[in-house]
Amino acid sequence: MPGESYDIAIVGAGIAGTYIGDRLKRARPDWSVAILERTDRIGGRLRSVPIAGLDHPIELGGMRYMSSHRRVASIVNELALPTHPFDRTEGQERAFLRGIVAQGPGDPAGATNYRLDANERGRSAVELWQSGFERIVPNWQRLEHDDYVRLRAAGDYLGRPVTDWSIGDVLRGSLSADGWAYVQDAFGYDSGIRAFNATDFIEFLHSGGDPTSVARTPDGGMESMPQSLAERFEWSGGAIWLGSEVASIEISDGAVVLHTNDGRSIRAGRVVLTAPVPALELLARTSPALGHPRFGRAFAAVEGFPAMKLYLWYDHPWWRPAVSGIRSVADLPVRKVFYLDARPDSPAAMLAMYTDALDVEPWRELAGDTSDGAPAPTAMLAEVQRCLREMHPDVADVPEPVGSALMHWGADPHEVGWHFWRGGAVSDEVLALAPQPDPALPIYLAGEAFSRQQSWVEGALEAAEAVLERLLAPASADSVKPVTRGG
């Protein structure tokens, strides 16, 4: 690797990086392309782990895609990856809120033990948060994307631009204290209901509302997508360098030079950065090439959130038939529980604690340094089991698990679970500049952070396609001069 030079270098071997590399080598086999990955694995935030006795791997990262996600579906079909429904129960979603079992956030019974105002009583959490949507985005259910673009450009709410508001600010201001608590508890994801830019959040939820769409997962795990793309990329002549963390970037003699943490330098005509924003911000501290204010503007427009997932597996799905669906949301510290069984008489997995953003905090001390799929500490297991017993009062015995696996996206300062647009950001403007923040520099940004489908694989592919459009544009392709080898 010392002295290597490439036409294009891609930083990050997640779904965006492997997709871009594969597309480039198939479109321009004459270009030399390399992917640099700081870890020892391909997949990024898609991380699938097979467990003996279970039908399918557990997903420590992204765990599903929607059939309406056309880019993901295209990859799955093209690579002939077998898939299965993520939810094989077709049962009712469940909520356990302040000691009451209800049928998900759409069931007003979930509010029984909340002291709601008179105008909030008898309404479900869904109805309450949608009433907040209507305040800041009137007629939101009938708006198309172009309507949201115009709203973000010129709309205001209570005398301020609509883009100044997070959805949490809007809901706090329109609901009683317990109404707001009820909505937060029932929604399940702290980052989404609290910190997401209000207009972007409403469009995000609305655009994902296709009633015919179903969640699916590749049989070999979500990780099989980037791994399959990486295999095809290497077969086409692309290079993948694992364990190669980029420590700094500079421009030298018209080329981009990537300096790795082990003292090596790689020259490239153009560079694509696909890492999470916290990693990019760390890289920017040592990289004058990322000093243009437009890079800083792109990074500041999104917020990255930690996430923690604890899987447990058992000899049998003890939660059946008391629970009919795939998910429970609770106001307990575990927050979200997913029941991932296929048959009543076989070993079964449970995503027994799934938290994000502020909801991760109660678990940090119990988790300690444990992550990356390692077994959970004893004290953490005991607390999770306590929560499971409390939120399943109709189950006589909650057995001890056979095994466990903990993942903390955020334990590593380079990583987060996902990103959302901040209040104060005009996302349409940032999306226009993110693919190539400084037009004078051949450095491009791709990742789910800079997309309309943030937190989803589809978002990473959306951002990747925006960069590919520039890299493969005829004028761009004709003007690219291969970097001198061995420079």
* Tokens describing residue 15: 């779904």
Backbone φ/ψ region at 243: left (φ over 0), alpha (ψ -120 to 50), beta: left
* CA separation for the pair 419, 60 (Å, rounded): 17
Structural element, H or E, at residue 135: helix 125-136
**Three-state DSSP class for residue 452:** coil
**Cβ atoms of residues 90 and 214 within 8 Å:** no
CATH superfamily of 105-207: Guanine Nucleotide Dissociation Inhibitor, domain 1 (1.10.405.10)
**Cβ atoms of residues 136 and 161 within 8 Å:** no
**Cβ atoms of residues 139 and 151 within 8 Å:** no
What residue segments make up the domains of the chain, in order of their start? 5-45+219-303+420-479, 50-66+83-90+305-409, 105-207
Structural element, H or E, at residue 403: strand 403-409
* CA separation for the pair 106, 127 (Å, rounded): 7
Whole-angstrom Cα Rg for the chain:
23
Distance of CA 164 to the CA centre of its chain: 23
* Tokens describing residue 227: 């791994």
Report phi then psi at 213, rounded to 5.
-80, 140
Provide the 10 A C-beta neighbour count for residue 99: 11
Report phi then psi at 463, rounded to 5.
-65, -40
* Amino acid type, 460: A
Backbone φ/ψ region at 473: left (φ over 0), alpha (ψ -120 to 50), beta: beta
CATH topology of domain 50-66+83-90+305-409: Polyamine Oxidase; Chain A, domain 2 (3.90.660)
| C-alpha distances out from residue 315 to 166, 231, 346, Å | 44, 35, 7
- Residue 481: the pLDDT is 44
- The verdict on pTM exceeding 0.85 is yes
Helices 224-235 and 70-78: crossing angle in degrees, nearest 10, is 60
| C-alpha distances out from residue 369 to 68, 81, 83, 365, 382, Å | 38, 35, 34, 9, 17
**Three-state DSSP class for residue 25:** helix
Q: Is the dihedral of CA 105, 111, 114, 116 positive or negative?
A: positive
CATH topology of domain 5-45+219-303+420-479: FAD/NAD(P)-binding domain (3.50.50)
CA atoms within 13 A on the CB side of 347: 15
- Residue 210: the pLDDT is 66
List of E strands, 38-106: 48-49, 58-59, 65-66, 83-85, 94-97, 100-102
Could you say which residues of the chain have pLDDT below 70?
1-3, 209-212, 475-487
